[in-house]
Structure 1
Amino acid sequence: MVKPITGMLRRSLVLDLATAFGLGTASGYLWWYGFHIPSIRVRDSFYGKLEDERAKALGQV
C-alpha cells in the first residue's frame, strides 16, 4: 500500500514564504543601500553646493 503524502503542502508553503521574504528583504536592502542612499548623497551634495553659490552671490557667507 502507498503511504499518504502529508505535510508536503505546508513544508513547501513555509519554504516558499521564507524564500520570498528572505529574497525580498535582501533585494530591498540592496536597492536601499546600493542605489537609493548614494543617489540621495549626490543630490544633497549638489543642492548644498548650489546653496553655497547662492549665498556667496548674495554676500551671505
Structure 2
Amino acid sequence: MPIKPITGMLRRHLVVDLAVAFGLGTSAGYLWWYGYHVPNVRHRDAYYAKLEDERAAAAGQL
C-alpha cells in the first residue's frame, strides 16, 4: 500500500489557516485594547484631570 503524496495541503487549508490567524489576531488586539489600553488611558486622564483641578484651586487661592 503506497503512501499518498502530500500535495495540495496548502491549498486546502489556506482559507482555514488565514481565518483562524485573523480571528485570533483580531481577538487578541481587542483584548489588549479594551482590557489594558483603554483602562490605562482613563486612569492617566483622571490623574491629570485631578492634578489640573488641584493646580486651578491653588491658583485661585492666591
Task: Please indicate the TM-score interval, normalised by the length of the shorter structure.
Answer: 0.7 to 0.9
Which ranges in structure 1 are unaligned for 5 or more consecutive residues? none
Q: Which has the higher contact order (CA 8 A, sep 6+)?
A: 1
Q: How many residues align?
A: 60
1:54 pairs with 2:52: no
Superimposed CA distance per residue, residues 3-51 of structure 1 (whole angstroms, 9 cap, x where no aligned partner): 8877532221111111100000000000000000000000000000000
Runs of 4 or more above 3 Å deviation: 2-8
Distance 1:53 1:35 in 2: 27
Unpaired runs of at least 5, structure 2: none
* CA RMSD across the alignment: 2.3
Secondary structure at 1:38 match in 2:
helix
Query: TM-score under structure 1 normalisation?
Result: 0.82
Percent identity among equivalent residues? 73
